[in-house]
């Protein structure tokens, strides 16, 4: 789990992965379904050098978690996490799921769907959760003083990439190393594999699996998590009521 970003677009004063959502740090929500997943044999959190929040959170987690030190870009941080898995004797053919610390609303059902789809397609170069675009896309043009819509792009066959993204450890490490050698920094893991001519599988995720980037996203993420709590609590709340 890459968690070494600074959350500059959010500008909260602390890195966004530590912002409280319903009283728990975002990173704890993001980790929870993986820590509860018996098929996840090990978890690595990649924290920034000098992160003052991580060790206290780590001590509270329900199972041991490895740590790695993040780098300048997300790809560098992921590479650092993969090296930690190697050091823990993970092998070339082991599956790795990379998940943004900034996506606290991911569900166990999404993780299961990704694992099932990628696992069922042995020829696939891994895969990722993604969502088909729903909005009409405009190209902005500020050439004449005001920002105007200068055209409409086709959204046909366009998807938003989410996480987790799932690859064999060896294939993902080779792809990230090749990108680094070429001086390119992929914005997600799938892009590094695409640069190698591979085509990771797209697996439908949920719109609720948003990446928290702005303050509005913090509000949305809290509402999503709160709604789940309300649903879980409802049967107990009405248990005394006869139909
Ligand atoms: N990330 C990381 N190492 C970096 C940059 C980002 O591990 N050098 C992680 C973030 O912690 C986050 C995920 O990658 O979990 C997605 O990145 P993003 O949403 O861009 O987070 P930040 O880089 O923290 O935010 P911003 O770009 O607004 O500064
Ligand atoms: Mg960033």
Per-residue pLDDT of the chain (243 residues; tens, 9 = 90+): 999 999 999 999 999 999 999 999 999 999 999 999 999 999 999 999 999 999 999 999 999 999 999 999 999 999 999 999 999 999 999 999 999 999 999 999 999 999 999 989 877 799 999 999 999 999 999 887 889 999 999 999 999 999 999 999 999 999 999 999 999 999 999 999 999 999 999 999 999 999 999 999 999 999 999 999 866 555 444 444 444
Distance 16 CA to ligand 2 centre (A): 11
Q: What is the pTM of this model?
A: 0.94
Distance 187 CA to ligand 1 centre (A): 10
Atom number of ligand 1 nearest to Cα 101? 15
Q: Is domain 2-7+14-109+122-132+158-227 in CATH 2.60.40.1180, yes or no?
A: no
Q: CB of 67 within 8 A of CB of 45? A: yes
Atom number of ligand 1 nearest to Cα 212? 19
Distance 189 CA to ligand 2 centre (A): 14
Residue 147 to residues 29, 141, 143, Cα–Cα distance (Å): 38, 6, 8
């Amino acid at each position: 789990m890459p968690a070494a970003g600074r959350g500059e677009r959010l500008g909260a004063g602390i890195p966004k992965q530590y912002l409280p959502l319903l009283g728990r740090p975002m990173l704890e929500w993001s980790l929870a379904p993986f820590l509860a997943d018996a098929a996840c044999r090990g978890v690595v959190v990649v924290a920034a050098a000098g992160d003052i929040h991580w060790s206290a959170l780590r001590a509270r987690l329900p199972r041991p978690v490895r740590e790695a030190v993040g780098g300048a870009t997300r790809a560098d941080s992921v590479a650092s996490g993969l090296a930690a898995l190697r050091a823990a004797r993970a092998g070339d053919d082991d599956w790795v799921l990379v998940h943004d610390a900034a996506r606290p609303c991911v569900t166990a059902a999404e993780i299961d769907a990704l694992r099932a789809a990628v696992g069922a397609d042995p020829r696939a170069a891994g895969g990722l959760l993604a969502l088909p675009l729903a909005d009409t896309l405009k190209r902005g043009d500020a050439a004449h003083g005001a920002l105007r819509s200068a055209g409409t792009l086709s959204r046909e066959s366009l998807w938003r990439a989410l996480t987790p993204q799932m690859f064999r450890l060896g294939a993902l490490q080779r792809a990230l190393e090749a990108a680094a050698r070429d001086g390119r920094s992929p914005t997600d893991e799938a892009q590094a594999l695409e640069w190698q001519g591979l085509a990771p599988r797209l697996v439908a995720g949920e719109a609720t699996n948003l990446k928290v980037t702005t303050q509005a996203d913090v509000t949305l993420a809290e509402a999503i998590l709160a709604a789940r709590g309300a649903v879980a609590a409802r049967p107990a709340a009405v248990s005394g009521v006869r139909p």
